[in-house]
Structure formats: structure tokens, C-alpha cells
Amino acid sequence: MASRRRSGVVDAADGTPITFHTHGTSGPVVVLTNGIGTTENFWRFLVDELSTDHTVVHWDYRGHGNTPPSASGDYSLATQADDLARVTRRVMDQGRPPVQIAFSMGVAVLLELYRKEPGLVRAMALLAGAPDAPGTGTALFRVPGSLAAARAMAALATPMVPFFAPVVKAFLRSSLPYPFARMMGVLQPHAPRQDIDEFLQGVASMDPLAYWRTLRGLLAARGSDVLPMVSVPVLIVAAAQDLLMPLSQVEKMRRGLPHASYVLIDEAGHAGLVEKGPEMARAVRELLHKVPGQGTDSPGRHGV
């Protein structure tokens, strides 16, 4: 990260210390919410762009980054959204709600926050994510009861996670995942290997049960009913070659938010934050210019 980072902690309802990191020293507050397993380097283009004239806050989910595993074992989306609410209240500038930017699973978390506390959201940017569990409405889960079956199987598999974790960790730390993901089309040809390796090392260092239970929380996501409630400015960014977040799900969310701005970024997969970081940053900058009292005179490092 180009800007100096300062870290802080806010206590969750169950006492879990949720870590957040602040970049920039002045300007309106922007809060960044992760995808599952995402390491902070995925945000580097947005932080470099926005911290020139905003206070940018990034926070770590339970069991991610500098936040320890959940004290209560709770990794539900509602609990993650409450964690986000606590971070938001801590970093708000003079009571003004921040612009909330969410990636992947973070989209579902942010919409859960909006369900409970819409006053904590000034505007939202929804990047490569959707309100419901991944695959909802696609051919994979079109058979009635198939998504419920997937949730049940994930629950039944939980006791086995510690036994398989060493093998998975060894694979993630090897040289194999990057070329394999390229071959499968999950990563685009210009995906920066250093960023992807940092992400893989971050996942490999996690408590495996924290990751698995976070994934189970994501499989339970049902946030489409929040969309008609949203009245703040919204930006939706989709990655054209995203194999992990089906474009059809993002398009469905777009139809549920007819007032939202929409950007489709080509040659970007689910790692679009680093594959097409400058384009993602420019799209978010455009949103900020449209939010009353949020835009600034500075065009940012990349400009728009």
C-alpha cells in the first residue's frame, strides 16, 4: 500500500476484536469490505486512488488478516454485518455515514448492513458480488432443493475440515494454483502473480474452520429482498469473465436496483480488483463524484 496504514480494533458483540486499517489522513470516509479470504493487497489500486483525498478504511473479517477467529464461533452474514456496523460507527466523520465499497461476499454483507442500519450507508459500490449465495438462480442450482442440499452437505463436512486442511494448505503454498487457475479460466492472462500468491498464502495461513464457517455463512446469503429498500446512490461493477460470480446473478441484482450505475469490465475475472485495478478505481471515483458532499476537487492519482 502506498499510503501509511494505521490499525485499530473495535469489539464485536461477542467480544471478538475486529481489526480495521486506515489509509489517508483527511477527506470523507470510505469503507472497504472484503470477499471471503481476500487479503488487503486486493484493494491496493483503490487505496492508492482514493487515499489521496479520502480516509479509506479496510477491515478484516473474523479469522481473516489481523482479526482472530470468532470468539463465539458465529460467522453468519448477520454477524459479519454487525461487525461492519461497529467498524463504521467507529470511523464515521462527525456522524456522517461513509460510502461503503464491497467486493464479492462483501456485497451480501453490505446489503445485510443496509437491511438493519441504512443510516450507516451514504452510497454503495458493489463489485463482482451479488445479494444471494453464489450460483443462486443458475443452472447449477435450478433443481428445487439443490441449494439447501449444498448447505446441508457443507454442514455435514465441517468435522472433516481439520483433517483435509493440511493437504489444502500444502497445495495453496505450492506453485500449482496459479497456472491451474489460469488454465481453468478463473484467472485472466494478465492477473499479477505476486498478488494472487499473496492471496493464496493468506488463505493458507487462516484457521481452516474459520474459512469454512465463513463459506457456510455465504451459502446462506439471501439478500435480494433488500434491493427494493435501497435509496442511496449505487454503483455495480461486473467482471465480464468472472467464473466464480455468475454474470447472470449480477445482472439480476442490476434489475433489482434500476437506479444504479453499471460498469462491465472486460478481460476481468473474479480477481478483477488486481487484474483491472485502475479501471475498478476509476469506476468508484466516478461514483464518489456523484455523491453530494463526497466528491473532491482532486482527480486522484489515476484521474477520470
Q: Nearest 5 degrees, angle CA 207-CA 154-CA 129? A: 80
pLDDT of residue 140: 77
Amino acid at 1: M
pLDDT of residue 142: 79
Mean pLDDT per 10-residue section of the chain, whose length is 304 residues: 78 98 91 96 96 95 97 98 98 92 98 98 98 88 87 96 97 97 95 97 97 97 97 97 94 96 96 97 94 59 31
Burial degree of 212 (CB within 10 A; 0-12, 13-18, 19+): buried
User: φ and ψ at 127, to 5 degrees?
Assistant: -110, 115
Count of residues in the chain: 304
Distance of CA 187 to the CA centre of its chain: 17
Strand-strand pairing, 29-33 and 99-103: parallel
Residues ≥6 apart with Cβ < 8 Å to 150: 141, 219
Strand-strand pairing, 123-127 and 99-103: parallel
pLDDT of residue 301: 37
Amino acid at 152: A
